[in-house]
Every structure is written in structure tokens, then in C-alpha cells.
Amino acid sequence: MLSVLLQEGIANLDTLIHSTNKDIVDIKSANHDAIFNRIKDKESAIAEFEKNRALVAECISELVKQNPDKELSSILSDDENEHFDTLRQRLSTLKDINHRFARMVISVKGFYASLLEKMMPTKMEGYSKVVDNNLFLEANIRA
């Protein structure tokens, strides 16, 4: 049972890695609709992974209770230990890819924010940003 749960977790991570790699390609070509269309699939894979993770934790907890004086790696089969290693590797890969994608998202957000600020200058009124109509008209006249 544990081996099957670990394999499902690895499959979920592979799905997330594949989807995030597609997101990176699409953000480079400004294909934002494709990124947004994958959100539900990614959320589903994350939910499934979290469910599997909880089940794996239960299985491990039970194994440790049955064998309190043994180390976890000696309790698990060779296949299960290999699956755990693969799972750790995939988690690390997903973390790196997500970090790369997040940096791109922040860059794109900064670009759009600066573009919007140039098109519609704002000023602070209290704690709120509002369009500065004087500068907005000036920017339109110069263009």
C-alpha cells in the first residue's frame, strides 16, 4: 500500500513539474490564457498529493508503532526507500522550477505595473492610490 501511495505522489509531482514547465514556456510567449487554464489541473494535482501525503504519514506512523526500536529505512522495503528518494528528488525539482516561474511572474507583474503607471499615473490620497487626473491628461497630450 505504501509503495502505491508513493508512486501516486511521484506521479502527481511529475504532473505539477510538467505543468509548471509549460507555464514557463507560455509566460515567455505571453500566452497567459494557457497558464490560467492549467490552474484547476494544478490545484487538483496538489490536492491529490496532499491527500496521498496524509495517507503515507499514516502508514509510516503505523509502521513505526509496530517497530518502535528500528529505524524507518530498515522497516521499509528497498522499493519503498527508492520511491522516497525519487519523491525527494521530484520535490526538489518542483521547488526549483516553481522558484524560476515565480521570478518570471514577478518580472512580468513589475513590467505591467510600470506600464500602467506610465499610461495612468497615480498619486497617494491617504492610504489609497488614485489616478492623478492632471498627469493623466498631460501624458495623453504628450502621446
Instruction: Please list the pLDDT of the chain residue by residue as tens digits (143 residues).
Output: 899 999 999 999 999 999 999 999 999 999 989 999 999 999 999 999 999 999 999 999 999 999 888 988 888 999 999 999 999 999 999 999 999 999 999 999 998 888 877 777 777 777 877 777 666 555 445 55
Compute the 3-state secondary structure of the chain and give helix, strand, coil in percent, each to the nearest 5: 80, 5, 15
3-state secondary structure of 127: coil
Torsion angles phi and psi, residue 42, rounded to 5: -65, -40
Task: Compute the distance between CA of residue 72 and CA of residue 57 in angstroms, rounded to an integer.
Answer: 12
